[in-house]
Amino acid sequence: MDSKQQKTANESPQTLWSLLNGDGDVSLPYNGTSGWSGTDTSRERAVTADTNGATRSTQNQILGHIFLERENGMTWKELADITGWHHGTVSGALSVLHKTNRIARLKEKRNKCRVYVTPEYVEGRETDEQGRKHQCPECGHRF
């Protein structure tokens, strides 16, 4: 984890007011960006959104919605229904926020979807790790 990721992961929870007003921190864990699929157009979209504040706004709105639901949390589908955003927008933001430890993904499901909560509302429940799930049976290496 680089210093920018570590800083975001270790900071104390933001206020709801800062999240709802778009004043909160932005998580950019992929070489200083929110990530892209590998194409030049995807990279350009990510860099533009990261630069113009769209990434910050998306992340903070998602954090605000999840925070308001407290221990109940939210699924990607519930967030998409509330915001009107496409699955890719919601899922991408959830992945980045999970990767930087700003939210946790519970092992429990609701309507066939995983539930996300802010860390203070995990309350001892089992969580999923972020990232790749495949593991070599011989050496344990994740890929």
45: which strand partners? none
Q: What is the pLDDT of residue 4?
A: 38
Domain ranges of the chain: 3-128
Q: In the CATH hierarchy, which fold is given to the domain comprising 3-128?
A: Arc Repressor Mutant, subunit A (1.10.10)
Q: What is the pLDDT of residue 28?
A: 82
Answer for the pair 75, 110: CB distance below 8 angstroms, yes or no.
Answer: yes
**92-137: per-residue pLDDT in tens?**
999 999 999 999 999 999 999 999 999 999 999 999 987 766 667 7
Residue 97's Cβ-side half-sphere holds a number of Cα atoms within 13 Å equal to 30
Q: What is the pLDDT of residue 12?
A: 41
The helix (run of H) or strand (run of E) holding residue 107 is: strand 104-110
Q: What is the pLDDT of residue 142?
A: 62
**75-88: per-residue pLDDT in tens?**
999 999 999 999 99
Token digits of residue 102: 């700003």
**8-52: per-residue pLDDT in tens?**
333 445 555 555 555 568 888 777 888 888 888 988 988 898 899
Question: At CA 64, angle to CA 45 and CA 11, rounded to 5?
Answer: 85
Q: What is the pLDDT of residue 3?
A: 40
**Distance between start and end Cα atoms, the chain:** 17
